[in-house]
């Protein structure tokens, strides 16, 4: 487009490493191919069922949230993959992402990986970090205090600490596996990729849907799939910056007066040995809420095997993450030291 200074970065033929699109062999899967990429034209991300996962993670990433058509397993994994409520902040486990480091594919949760015929041994869980203030008034916190008293407050709709009648909010963030930094398919969480319904220029509408070449609105965190998507949404070239598909971390908490507690995943061995949590066949054990539950329902309407209302208390950190074993009956939890 005449006057578009970013257009030169919208193609693979440019040797400059700065590009607004992708030339990778799998770019068609995520719908991010440059217009001259070998894999062009694009495959719709909707068809591939990849979503830009941005809630409670530092760098948004494309995550698959659908099962393979040839998956022959039960319906429970399908439910837990596709029907998890991202907005349900209390439900950490159902939104805990996993990545296959061999393929670089990230899944919404372990169940999405399972129903895409992934082997559990090939998966890496993302690391979870809880960040809390180091004190409230005269009360000081340490890591052990946070592990013991972390809870979910239904009124505040947040995880945190109840301290002398006050609620102190903590922040939960997921971090990609350390050995996958820079190797995943990152995304812009605020991407506009269509024209408004009342927009009538068919040529611009077609070009908006036809190729990928990111533009970022100046002084904003809003991204557009390409310059034509920006134009049909009322933006001018002067209002746009070239976007090199490098997204700054979001939601990072910094400062000297905070405490961070970090959790990994794996089999949990407590001081007495392997701890087994036995639930009926259609239930899984949730260590955050100390109960057997059906993971395909949201926390607000799920069935459970207990009646104690105080069970929104999170359990000690060393049983923070679940890995499902032995014919979907037993769960093991661990804190990687």
Closest-CA residue to 58 (of 273, 233, 254): 254
Contacts within 8 Å (CB) and 24+ apart, 204-207: 204/228, 204/231, 204/232, 205/232
CA–CA gap between residue 97 and residue 112 (Å, rounded): 9
Residue 288, token pair as written in the block: 């955050």
C-alpha R_g of the chain: 22
Burial of 301 (0-12, 13-18, 19+ CB in 10 A): exposed
Per-residue pLDDT at 36 exceeds 70: yes
Alpha carbons 319 and 120: distance in angstroms, whole number: 19
User: 12, 37 in Cβ contact below 8 A?
Assistant: yes
Which segment of 64-73, 80-89, 169-178, 190-199 scores lowest on mean pLDDT?
80-89
Is the confidence at residue 44, as pLDDT, over 60? no
pLDDT reported for residue 164: 86
Cα distances from 183 to residues 31, 86, 97, 102, 173, in angstroms, run 17, 24, 16, 11, 19
Q: Residue 302: its pLDDT value, please?
A: 39
Cβ(244)–Cβ(18) under 8 Å? yes
Burial class for 237, CB neighbours closer than 10 Å (0-12, 13-18, 19+): middle
Instruction: Give residue-wise pLDDT tens across range 125-163.
Output: 888 888 899 999 889 998 888 878 888 888 888 889 999
pLDDT digits (tens, 9 = 90+) for 317-335: 323 333 332 233 222 223 3
Task: Output DSSP code: residue 234.
Answer: T
More confident residue, 34 or 337: 34
pLDDT at 205: 95
87 pLDDT band (50/70/90 cuts)?
Answer: low
Partnered with residue 292 across adjacent β-strands are 285
Least confident range of 80-84, 85-89, 143-147, 169-173: 85-89
Most confident of 212-221, 266-275, 321-330: 212-221
Question: What is the Cα–Cα distance from 272 to 3, expressed in whole angstroms?
Answer: 69
Check whether 12 has a pLDDT greater than 60. Answer: yes
Question: Mean pLDDT across the stretch 210-223?
Answer: 90
Closest CA to 282 of 290, 269, 292, 272: 292
Please give the pLDDT value at position 297.
39
pLDDT of residue 218: 92
Confidence of residue 316 (pLDDT cuts 50, 70, 90): very low
CB atoms within 10 A of CB 92: 25
The H or E element that residue 263 is part of is strand 258-263
- What is the maximal distance between C-alpha atoms in the chain? 71
Domain boundaries, the chain: 3-125+181-241, 127-177+251-293, 311-336
Helix (H) / strand (E) element for 285: namely: strand 284-286
Whether the pLDDT of residue 304 is over 70: the answer is: no
Confidence bin at 282 (pLDDT 50/70/90): low
Per-residue pLDDT band for 78 (boundaries 50, 70, 90) equals: confident
Tokens 């002084």 correspond to what residue?
219
pLDDT value, residue 41: 62
Q: With contact defined as beta carbons under 8 Å apart, do 274 and 215 qualify? A: no
Instruction: Identify any residues that bridge with 133 across adjacent strands, giving them in sequence order.
Output: 258
Structure pTM? 0.71
């Amino acid at each position: 487009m005449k006057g578009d200074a970013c257009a030169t970065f919208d193609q693979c033929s440019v040797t400059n490493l700065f590009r607004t699109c992708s030339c990778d062999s799998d770019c068609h899967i995520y719908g991010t191919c440059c217009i001259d990429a070998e894999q062009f034209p694009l495959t719709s991300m909707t068809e591939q069922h990849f979503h830009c996962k941005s809630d409670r993670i530092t760098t948004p990433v494309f995550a698959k949230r659908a099962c393979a058509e040839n998956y022959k397993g039960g319906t429970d994994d399908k439910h837990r993959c596709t029907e998890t409520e991202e907005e349900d902040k209390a439900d950490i486990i159902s939104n805990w992402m996993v990545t296959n480091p061999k393929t670089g594919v990230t899944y919404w949760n372990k169940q999405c990986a399972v129903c895409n015929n992934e082997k559990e041994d090939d998966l890496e869980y993302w690391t979870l970090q809880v960040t809390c203030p180091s004190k409230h008034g005269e009360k000081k916190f340490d890591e052990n205090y946070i592990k013991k008293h972390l809870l979910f407050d239904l009124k505040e709709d947040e995880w945190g600490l109840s301290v002398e009648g006050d609620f102190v909010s903590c922040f939960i963030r997921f971090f990609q596996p350390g050995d996958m930094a820079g190797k995943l398919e990152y995304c812009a969480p605020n991407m506009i990729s269509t024209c408004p319904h009342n927009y009538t220029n068919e040529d611009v509408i077609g070009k908006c849907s036809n190729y990928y070449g990111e533009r970022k609105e100046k002084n904003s965190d809003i991204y557009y799939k390409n310059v034509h998507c920006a134009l049909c949404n009322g933006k001018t070239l002067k209002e746009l910056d070239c976007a090199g598909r490098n997204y700054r971390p979001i939601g990072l908490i910094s400062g000297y007066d905070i405490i961070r507690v970090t959790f990994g995943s794996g089999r949990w061995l407590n001081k007495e040995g392997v701890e087994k949590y036995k639930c009926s066949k259609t239930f899984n054990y949730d260590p955050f809420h100390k109960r057997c539950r059906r993971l395909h329902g949201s926390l607000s309407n799920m069935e459970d095997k207990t009646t104690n209302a105080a069970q929104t208390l999170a359990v000690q950190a060393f049983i923070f993450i679940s890995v499902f074993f032995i014919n979907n009956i037993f769960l093991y939890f661990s804190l990687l030291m």
